[in-house]
Structure 1
Amino acid sequence: MSRAGPRRPGPVLWLLAVAGFGLLLAPALVVGVVSFSSGAFLSFPPPGFSLRWYAALLANQDIRAALATSGMLALMVAVVSLLIGTPAAYAIARLRFPGRGLVAGVLAAPLLLPTLVLGLALLLALQPMKLVATWPGLVLAHCTLAVPFAVRIMTAAIAAVPDELEAAARTLGASPLRAVVRVTLPLAAPGLFAAAALAFLVSFDETVISLFLVGPRLTTLPVELFRYAENRNDPLIAALAMVLIVIALAIVLIVERAAGLTRSLSKD
């Protein structure tokens, strides 16, 4: 008896899928159209089309400085998240010890808290140590959100590497650490790359926690966007939003092309 092949989606499923994608993409499309507006105020549809607000964006010194700060901060958060998350992920994926599930739960706990509560708690904790509006304070705060994502992805990537390969390396004389560094981590490199990219995006896009911890001389791009939107109502906001969307999309596509972000996130 021949096995039936996979069923093709029907027209109703296609219609629902198109409607779902349209609902998700509609805000970005509206922002993209408004970012090319020739008008002086946010309006849809725009009165005309122009690149004037992208030129104004490039000429805005505060936004350029905030972009550089966010990029550097996100890069540091990605590195620190891997340094912390990779050993934790290896312990969860490979080792068997009492409280293993508790450790995994504690590492994921920041994702369960509202970012408003987390931001206030970090402000109260970092203020006595004089780490508010400092690079170490921002890196530490952003890592509270980025590390859980890195641990989740790296746990799946390490668990997908067969234990027998490490055992074979040890029987050939490699130390446990050398077996991990020379065998497990290279095979888990796609997950490592995906974890770094996701940690970068989490930090680059973080707004609520940053609002509690930035200062007049150290601010991030999302906070600068928020402050700009409080005082002005012109399409430069839409142009900046499109820049953020393009940066995030470019990173996701590069990681998907190089390492397979979808596969890294979907592994059990």
Structure 2
Amino acid sequence: MRPGWFLRLAAICGYALLLAPALLVFIISFSAGDFLNFPPPGFSLRWYAALIDNGQLMAALRNSALLAAGVACIALAAGMPAAYAIARLEFPGRGVLAGFLAAPLLLPTLVLGLALLLAMQPMRLAATWPGLMLAHAMVAVPFAVRIMTTAFGGVPKDLEEAAWTLGATRFRAALRVTLPLAAPGAIAAGALCFLVSFDETVISLFLVGPRLSTLPVEMFRYAENRTDPLVAALAMTLIGVALAVVLLVERLVGFTRAVGRN
């Protein structure tokens, strides 16, 4: 049954509400003026050129990309075994394990960031690559577990049992049969974990230092002191990275297949 006019109108209004702020920022990012105002007095690429010439922001962009890639790998490595156990195995406390892995999402990031700072400072992990990766992985792993649990659950268990009857061990059957079929979910999980880390701000504010900072933190600091359209160009850069990752996942596997709903 096709949706009626009311549902279509509601959908259009919803999309307009979600996209209007991004459209406003997009227009301002091409402003030729010196201040954040709308409508802009003219249009130019001067603020994108200024962004490229800003060494501090470009270094933060590189840091965020490297950090997010490392966090995605850590989250997948830690989340896939847990997701497989939750989706495929029967054992006491399975629900408790799933709840425990989702617990970081229930805590306010402000509280989580402060707790991580207090825990990492004595170990000298604050403002270090390992410390930031572990902190970001803490909030990325629940997303990896959720997506991979769905992906593993979408693989028919009969295929794995058939491999057992042919002499494969449980580990080999999971590695050679289940994991390849759940690969689209792994791609989607890795992409989402990358974006979670790349956009993380609050926890990073507690853990960055003068020699190691991330792009969202530098964007926050820049917006505190200046009101020029460079911050709009920077915001569009963040949106562009997120959009590129989403389109890449859609191009490679498609979202429906990526979450295991074949």
- The 2-side partners of 1:20 and 1:165 are apart by 42
Compute the displacement of 1:258 (Å).
Answer: 1.4
Choose the corresponding residue for 1:95, options 89, 99, 103. 89
1:50 aligns with 2:44: yes
| Structure 2 counterpart of 1:63, one-letter code | L
Residue of structure 2 in register with 1:226 after alignment: 220
| Structure 2 counterpart of 1:117, one-letter code | V
1:33 aligns with 2:27: yes
Compute the displacement of 1:128 (Å).
Answer: 1.0
Compute the displacement of 1:246 (Å).
Answer: 0.8
Task: Point out 4+ residue stretches in structure 1 off by more than 6 angstroms.
Answer: none
| Structure 1 unmatched ranges of 5 or more | 1-6
Compute the displacement of 1:264 (Å).
Answer: 3.9
- The 1-side partners of 2:90 and 2:230 are apart by 53
Q: Percent identity between the aligned chains?
A: 70
- The 1-side partners of 2:96 and 2:190 are apart by 24
- The 2-side partners of 1:176 and 1:213 are apart by 41
Q: What does the per-residue CA deviation read over 1:39-81, in whole Å, with 9 as the maximum and x for residues that have no partner?
A: 0000011110000000000000001100100000000000000
Residue of structure 2 in register with 1:148 after alignment: 142
| Structure 2 unmatched ranges of 5 or more | none
Residue of structure 1 in register with 2:101 after alignment: 107
Choose the corresponding residue for 2:181, options 187, 193, 197. 187
Residues 79-88 or 254-263, more deviating: 254-263
- The 1-side partners of 2:32 and 2:87 are apart by 54
Compute the displacement of 1:267 (Å).
Answer: 4.9
Q: What does the per-residue CA deviation read over 1:59-116, in whole Å, with 9 as the maximum and x for residues that have no partner?
A: 0000110010000000000000010000000000011111100000000011111111
- The 2-side partners of 1:135 and 1:17 are apart by 43
- The 1-side partners of 2:143 and 2:233 are apart by 29
- The 2-side partners of 1:152 and 1:265 are apart by 9
Q: What does the per-residue CA deviation read over 1:162-211, in whole Å, with 9 as the maximum and x for residues that have no partner?
A: 11111111111112111111100000000000000000000000000000
TM-score (structure 2 length as normaliser): 0.98
Q: Please give the residue correspondences for 1:214-253 in structure 2 after superposition, counting only pairs within 5 Å.
A: 214-253=208-247
8 Å contact 1:156–1:264 — kept in the other structure?
no
Compute the displacement of 1:263 (Å).
Answer: 4.8
Compute the displacement of 1:261 (Å).
Answer: 2.5
- What's the Cα RMSD here? 1.2
1:254 aligns with 2:255: no
Compute the displacement of 1:257 (Å).
Answer: 2.2
Residues 222-231 or 251-260, more deviating: 251-260
8 Å contact 1:80–1:143 — kept in the other structure?
yes
- The 1-side partners of 2:165 and 2:248 are apart by 38
- The 2-side partners of 1:167 and 1:175 are apart by 10
| Structure 2 counterpart of 1:189, one-letter code | A
8 Å contact 1:82–1:147 — kept in the other structure?
yes
Choose the corresponding residue for 2:78, options 68, 84, 107. 84
Q: Please give the residue correspondences for 1:93-172 in structure 2 after superposition, counting only pairs within 5 Å.
A: 93-172=87-166
TM-score (structure 1 length as normaliser): 0.95
- The 1-side partners of 2:173 and 2:234 are apart by 46
| Structure 2 counterpart of 1:248, one-letter code | A
| Structure 2 counterpart of 1:187, one-letter code | L
Compute the displacement of 1:244 (Å).
Answer: 0.6
